[in-house]
A and B are shown apart, each in its own frame.
Chain A
Amino acid sequence: SQQGEEDPQALSIQEGENATMNCSYKTSINNLQWYRQNSGRGLVHLILIRSNEREKHSGRLRVTLDTSKKSSSLLITASRAADTASYFCATDDSGNNRKLIWGLGTSLAVNP
């Protein structure tokens, strides 16, 4: 399987509920980044967590990283219809060029 695999592939929740998405990866990393993509649009950076960090918050976003399990989770609290999008995790390859390796993403639908 590929570096940066997210699950679930699709998630449908009601406005106000929390959404949790998970990401697993295979190789060692410098950091892991979460991005959001509205349908057919660009990639918006949400949050970066370094390999020596365990948890990070940004507004309604909470990201955790467990390097022993090579996994990360993104929690969106009090979801809104505007959070409807695809969410991707991307890991850098710990090399010098910092290229990002991506998963297939989680498609989140927040129903009003």
Chain B
Amino acid sequence: EPEVTQTPSHQVTQMGQEVILRCVPISNHLYFYWYRQILGQKVEFLVSFYNNEISEKSEIFDDQFSVERPDGSNFTLKIRSTKLEDSAMYFCASTLSGRHNEQYFGPGTRLTVT
């Protein structure tokens, strides 16, 4: 069964460093998302991506964040200069088009900023 994959599973970085989180969505899906979950808190929407551009972003997704789909397969989230409060689990998700399609999530990348 097709699945969303994410790498790495755990990333430790120092404050101020750049990180790139990688995702491979399900191949025939058209909408892509990043969410994050700070430990013990709810899952929060970061950004949605469709037709090679950002379709919506939350207030969390500031200038330090960017997304890219460089090769039609990978979908990346870059954090330019990490802060301590960026420590969280980051989930990538994808879905087919249509209003009633499930979003399929990857296993997540645990980002720890020290």
| Interface residues in chain A, defined as those with a beta carbon under 8 Å from any beta carbon in chain B | 2, 30-31, 33, 35, 40-45, 48, 50, 88, 90, 92, 95-105
Chain A residues in 8 Å Cβ range of B48: 97-99
What chain B residues lie within 8 Å of A99 (beta carbons)? 33, 45, 48, 56
6 A-B pairs closest in CB distance: A42-B107, A102-B43, A43-B105, A97-B56, A97-B48, A30-B99
Q: Mark B34-57, 1 if CB is under 8 A from A, else 0.
A: 010000011111001010000110
For this complex, into which size category does the number of interface residues on chain B fall? 20 to 34
Chain B binding site: helix, strand, loop or mixed by DSSP? strand
Residues of A within 8 A of B95 (CB): 98
Looking at A30, A40, A48, A97, the one whose CB has the most chain B CB atoms below 10 A away is A97
Q: Does B18 contact A (CB under 8 A)?
A: no
The answer to whether B42 touches A45, judged by C-beta atoms less than 8 angstroms apart, is: no
Interface residues of B in 72-114 (CB under 8 A from A): 89, 91, 93, 95, 99-108, 110
A3 to chain B, nearest CB (A): 10
Knowing A42-B106, A97-B56 are in contact, say whether A31-B99 is a contact too (CB < 8 A): yes
Given contacts A96-B55, A97-B50, A97-B56, contact A50 B100 (CB under 8 A): yes
